[in-house]
C-alpha cells in the first residue's frame, strides 16, 4: 500500500512539473521584459565583463574544499536557506533559546548556500518555485462558497531565468541585505567552493520540461562556471566553459573537477557515463577543459566516482533486456588531455548498484536483489583492481561513511516492512567483513522512510560524542476498510469529522539517536519535530533538527530521553496553521458545505493562480493525484 502511495506521489510530482512548464519562470525573459541572454553566452548581470584577479597559479597551497548546504553554523549564528522564506538567520548563542535575527526573501528556488566572512552566496534556480497562494498582498483568496479566507502573503515567481548566485550582506544579521545577483546562464545542478572560487556545474535545459517543437529540441549542453569571491566587495565572474552532457554530477579535488552525465548511444544501444575533466588548478578561477572519457553504464550519485593518487575510479551499473552488470573501472590521469583505461573488474551480475564509497586504496560497493552484498574492493594496484571480500545482509545501503576500519551505512531494511536502517561494519580484514550492529527505525511491518536514504547530509555522525542522529518519517493510516470515500476526494470529509477522524493519516517526524563505539551500535531515544526533518547536527552540547517549518534544539544529556531545549518557528502564528505535520504548506479553508480542509493545490487550480496558467489536463491530473493519495491536512501536534 505504501509503495503504491509513493509511486502515486511521484506521478503527481511529474504532473506538477508538466503543469509548471506553463509558468512564466520558463518565459525566457528577464525582470525588465527583455529577452534572456543566449545559452551560448557567459555571465549576464550586474558585474560587467568578466575579469580575473591577479594570482600566481604556481603557488602550491592546499585550498579548502567546501560543500554548499541549506544550513551553515558560523560562530553563534545559524544561516538557513528555506524554500518558503528565503534566508533565515538564527541567533544560537544560547542554544536553549534560539531566536530569529533576520530574514530575506529571495526569488526562485534556493538550491544551496555558502557563508564566507560577512557574505552569504546563495545559489538560486528558476526551474520551479514554491508559492503559497494569496495573489496580491491584501487580496482575499476566493472560495468555492460564500465564505472568505485568511489573507495569505504573496510570493511572486522568480524574476530571472536559469540560475543565479545571490550575494547577501550579512554583516548585520538582523537586516540581511541583497547586494546583487549574478545570472548564471543555464540551470545549476551542483557547486563547490575551492579556496576563493565557487564552481557551478549545470546544463542548458531542464530534464522534465516539455520543450515546444520537439522535432528540434535543444542540444544537451553542460557547463562549468567559476566565480571568485576573494574580495567580498568585488565578486568576479571568472570563466564559463560548455561541453557535452546533461544531468551533471560533480566530484572535486584540489586541481580537478569531474563533471559526469548520462548519455545514450542509440547506435550501440548502450548507456554511458560521460566524464569531463576540468582543470581548476588556477586559484583565481580560470577553467581549462581537458580530456573526457565514456564509461560503460550509469551512476546514481557523485560517490560512485573519485580520484586518488593520479587514478580515476568509477563504479557503474549496466542493464538491458535480460542482464544487469555492476563493474568497476579505473583510468590513468597522468595526462589529463588523454585519459586512458587502466583496469576494470566485474563485481556482480543480476543486481542493482545502490551505494559506492572510495576511501584511499579501498572501495566499498553495495548491490541489491534479495539480500545486500557489501563488497570490499582492493584498489592498491589500480591496474588490477579486485574484489577482496563480501558480506551478505538484509536490505541494502544507500550511503556509506568510512571510519578507518569501520563503516557506518544508512539504507533500507526490508525484512519486516520497508524501513530505514543504520548498519555498522568491521572491514579491518577486507577478505572477511562483518556486521557489528544494525538499528532499524519505525514500527515493525511498516513503511517508514528517511531523507537520509537519498540525501547524505540529512543525517549526522558526531564522532566526538559517539552518536549518530538520523531523521525518520512515519505515516499511520486508518485501519478502517474505507479510509477514504471511493468516489469523492478526501477533502469531502463527513460532517463533524475532527482532527481525530480515522480518515486522516497521522504523520510522525522524528530523529533517532544511535550510540556507536568501536564494536557496537546502541539504539537510544528519539524526539519529535514539526515538519519533515532535512538536517540534523550539533551546537555545543545540543543536537539540532531543521525542517522547512522550524529549527529545534534538543538536550541529549540523557540520550534515552532527549528533551526539547528550544525552537524557532519560521512561520508567524497567523501562517503556522497552514503548515502541517507531513510537510505541506498552504492556506486551508473550510467552506460551509465542505467541512474539513481542502488541499492548497486544489485552491490554486480553482483560482487559476498556479503561475498564471495551468491547462485543464494537468489541473485534472493534479486534482486526481491528490485525491488518490488522500493528501490532506494532518492532525496537529501540540
pLDDT at 621: 47
- Is the pLDDT higher at 489 or at 461? 461
Mean pLDDT is lowest, of 40-44, 68-72, 285-289, 467-471, for 40-44
- Is the pLDDT higher at 267 or at 455? 455
Task: Determine the average pLDDT of the residues in 70-94.
Answer: 95
Bridge partner residues of 87 (DSSP)? 81, 104
Residue 423, pLDDT above cutoff 60: yes
Residue 4, pLDDT above cutoff 70: no
Residue 34, pLDDT above cutoff 60: no
- Is the pLDDT higher at 7 or at 157? 157
| Rounded Cα gap, residues 530 and 533, in angstroms | 8
- Is the pLDDT higher at 321 or at 631? 321
Task: Determine the average pLDDT of the residues in 80-99.
Answer: 95
pLDDT at 273: 95
Task: Determine the average pLDDT of the residues in 323-337.
Answer: 96
pLDDT at 478: 59
Residue 489, pLDDT above cutoff 80: no
pLDDT at 269: 78
- Is the pLDDT higher at 584 or at 55? 584
pLDDT at 231: 96
Whether pTM > 0.75 for this model: the answer is yes
Residue 336, pLDDT above cutoff 90: yes
Mean pLDDT is lowest, of 196-200, 207-211, 433-437, 613-617, for 613-617
Residue with cell 600566481: 56
Residue 6, pLDDT above cutoff 50: no
- Is the pLDDT higher at 591 or at 378? 378
Residue 153, pLDDT above cutoff 90: no
Task: Determine the average pLDDT of the residues in 406-429.
Answer: 95
In DSSP notation, 86-151 reads EEEEEE-SSTTS-EEEEEE--SSEEEEEEEETTEEEEEEE-S-----S--STTPPPP-SSS---PP
Task: Determine the average pLDDT of the residues in 552-567.
Answer: 97
Task: Please state whether 435 falls in left (phi above 0), alpha (psi between -120 and 50) or beta.
Answer: beta
pLDDT at 571: 84
SS (H, E, C) 575-613: HHCCECCCCCECCCCCCCCCCCCCCHHHHHHHHCCCCCC
pLDDT at 578: 63
pLDDT at 492: 34
- Is the pLDDT higher at 33 or at 618? 618
| Rounded Cα gap, residues 306 and 262, in angstroms | 16
- Is the pLDDT higher at 306 or at 109? 306
Mean pLDDT is lowest, of 426-440, 494-508, 541-555, for 494-508
pLDDT at 516: 97
Please give the span between the terminal C-alpha atoms of the chain, in angstroms, as a whole number: 29
Residue spans of beta strands (DSSP E) within 379-477: 386-393, 396-403, 406-413, 419-426, 434-440, 448-449, 460-462, 467-476
Task: Determine the average pLDDT of the residues in 19-24.
Answer: 36
pLDDT at 302: 96
**Ranked by mean pLDDT, which of 203-217, 238-252, 590-604 comes out on top?**
238-252
Kindly tell me the sign of the dihedral angle through the C-alpha atoms of 11, 12, 13, 19: positive
- Is the pLDDT higher at 319 or at 598? 319
pLDDT at 237: 95
**pLDDT confidence tier of residue 31, bands split at 50, 70 and 90:** very low
The proportion of the chain whose per-residue pLDDT surpasses 90, expressed as a percent, equals 57
| Average model confidence (pLDDT) across the chain | 78
Residue 147, pLDDT above cutoff 80: no
Q: How many CB atoms lie within 10 A of CB 473?
A: 21
What's the Cα-to-Cα distance from 591 to each of 144, 239, 305, 502, 546, rounded to whole Å? 7, 56, 54, 21, 34
**Which cell numbers hold the place of 379?**
584498489
| Rounded Cα gap, residues 287 and 293, in angstroms | 18
Residue 73, pLDDT above cutoff 60: yes
- Is the pLDDT higher at 477 or at 171? 171
- Is the pLDDT higher at 533 or at 48? 533
- Is the pLDDT higher at 292 or at 221? 292
- Is the pLDDT higher at 28 or at 208? 208
pLDDT at 1: 40
Task: Determine the average pLDDT of the residues in 607-627.
Answer: 40
**Ranked by mean pLDDT, which of 49-53, 136-140, 183-187, 613-617 comes out on top?**
183-187
**Which cell numbers hold the place of 481?**
476498510
pLDDT at 321: 74
**pLDDT confidence tier of residue 208, bands split at 50, 70 and 90:** low
**pLDDT confidence tier of residue 226, bands split at 50, 70 and 90:** very high
| Rounded Cα gap, residues 177 and 168, in angstroms | 6
Task: Please state whether 35 falls in left (phi above 0), alpha (psi between -120 and 50) or beta.
Answer: beta
Task: Determine the average pLDDT of the residues in 265-271.
Answer: 81
Amino acid at each position: 500500500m505504501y509503495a503504491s502511495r509513493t509511486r502515486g506521489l511521484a506521478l503527481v510530482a511529474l504532473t506538477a512539473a508538466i503543469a509548471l512548464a506553463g509558468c512564466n519562470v520558463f518565459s525566457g525573459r528577464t525582470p525588465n521584459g527583455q529577452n534572456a541572454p543566449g545559452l551560448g553566452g557567459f555571465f549576464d548581470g550586474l558585474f560587467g565583463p568578466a575579469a580575473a584577479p591577479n594570482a600566481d597559479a604556481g603557488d602550491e597551497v592546499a585550498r579548502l574544499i567546501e560543500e554548499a548546504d541549506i544550513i551553515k553554523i558560523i560562530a553563534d549564528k545559524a544561516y538557513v536557506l528555506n524554500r518558503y522564506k528565503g534566508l533565515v538567520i538564527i541567533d544560537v548563542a544560547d542554544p536553549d533559546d534560539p531566536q530569529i535575527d533576520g530574514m530575506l526573501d529571495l526569488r526562485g528556488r534556493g538550491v544551496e548556500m555558502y557563508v564566507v566572512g560577512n557574505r552569504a552566496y546563495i545559489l538560486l534556480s528558476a526551474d520551479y518555485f514554491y508559492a503559497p497562494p494569496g495573489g496580491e498582498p491584501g487580496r482575499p483568496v476566493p472560495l468555492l462558497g460564500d465564505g472568505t479566507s485568511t489573507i495569505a502573503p504573496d510570493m511572486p515567481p522568480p524574476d530571472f531565468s536559469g540560475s543565479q548566485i545571490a550575494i547577501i550582506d550579512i554583516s548585520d544579521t538582523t537586516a540581511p541585505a541583497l547586494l546583487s545577483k549574478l545570472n548564471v546562464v543555464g540551470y545549476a545542478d551542483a557547486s563547490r567552493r575551492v579556496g576563493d572560487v565557487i564552481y557551478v556545474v549545470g546544463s542548458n535545459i531542464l530534464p522534465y520540461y516539455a520543450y515546444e517543437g520537439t522535432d528540434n529540441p535543444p542540444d544537451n549542453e553542460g557547463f562549468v562556471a567559476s566565480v571568485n569571491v576573494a574580495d567580498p566587495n568585488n565578486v568576479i565572474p571568472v570563466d564559463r566553459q560548455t561541453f557535452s552532457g546533461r544531468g551533471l554530477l560533480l566530484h572535486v579535488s584540489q586541481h580537478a573537477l569531474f563533471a559526469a552525465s548520462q548519455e545514450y548511444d542509440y547506435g550501440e544501444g548502450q548507456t554511458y557515463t560521460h566524464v569531463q575533466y576540468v582543470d581548476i588548478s588556477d586559484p583565481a578561477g580560470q577553467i581549462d577543459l581537458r580530456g573526457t572519457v565514456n564509461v560503460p553504464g550509469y551512476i546514481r550519485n557523485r560517490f560512485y566516482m573519485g580520484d586518488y593518487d593520479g587514478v580515476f575510479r568509477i563504479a557503474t551499473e549496466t542493464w538491458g533486456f535480460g542482464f544487469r552488470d555492476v563493474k568497476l573501472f579505473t583510468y590513468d590521469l597522468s595526462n589529463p588531455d588523454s585519459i586512458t583505461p587502466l583496469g576494470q573488474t566485474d563485481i556482480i551480475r543480476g543486481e542493482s548498484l545502490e551505494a559506492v564509497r572510495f576511501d584511499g586504496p579501498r572501495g566499498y560497493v553495495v548491490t541489491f536483489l534479495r539480500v545486500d552484498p557489501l563488497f570490499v574492493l582492493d584498489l592498491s594496484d589500480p591496474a588490477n583492481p579486485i574484489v577482496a571480500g563480501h558480506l551478505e545482509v538484509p536490505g541494502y545501503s544507500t550511503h556509506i561513511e568510512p571510519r578507518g576500519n569501520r563503516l557506518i551505512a544508512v539504507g533500507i531494511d526490508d525484512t519486516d516492512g520497508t524501513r530505514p536502517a543504520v548498519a555498522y561494519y568491521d572491514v579491518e580484514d577486507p577478505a572477511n567483513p562483518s556486521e557489528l550492529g544494525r538499528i532499524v527505525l519505525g514500527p515493525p511491518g511498516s513503511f517508514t522512510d528517511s531523507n537520509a536514504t537519498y540525501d547524505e547530509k540529512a543525517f549526522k555522525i558526531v564522532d566526538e560524542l559517539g552518536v549518530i542522529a538520523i531523521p525518520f518519517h512515519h505515516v499511520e493510516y486508518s485501519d478502517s476498510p474505507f479510509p477514504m470515500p471511493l468516489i469523492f476526494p478526501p477533502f469531502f470529509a463527513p460532517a463533524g469529522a475532527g482532527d481525530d477522524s480515522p480518515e486522516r493519516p497521522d504523520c510522525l517526524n522524528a530523529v533517532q539517536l544511535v550510540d556507536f563505539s568501536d564494536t557496537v551500535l546502541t539504539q537510544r531515544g528519539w524526539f519529535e519535530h514539526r515538519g519533515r526533518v532535512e538536517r540534523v547536527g550539533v551546537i555545543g552540547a545540543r543536537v539540532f533538527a531543521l525542517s522547512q517549518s522550524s529549527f529545534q534544539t534538543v538536550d541529549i544529556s540523557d540520550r534515552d530521553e532527549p528533551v526539547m531545549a528550544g525552537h524557532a518557528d519560521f512561520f508567524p502564528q497567523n501562517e503556522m496553521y497552514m503548515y502541517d505535520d507531513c510537510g505541506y504548506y498552504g492556506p486551508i479553508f473550510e467552506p460551509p458545505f465542505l467541512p474539513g480542509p481542502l488541499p492548497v493545490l486544489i485552491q490554486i487550480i480553482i483560482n487559476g493562480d498556479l503561475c498564471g496558467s495551468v491547462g485543464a489536463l494537468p489541473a485534472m491530473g493534479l486534482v486526481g493525484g491528490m485525491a488518490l493519495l488522500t493528501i490532506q491536512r494532518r492532525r496537529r501536534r501540540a
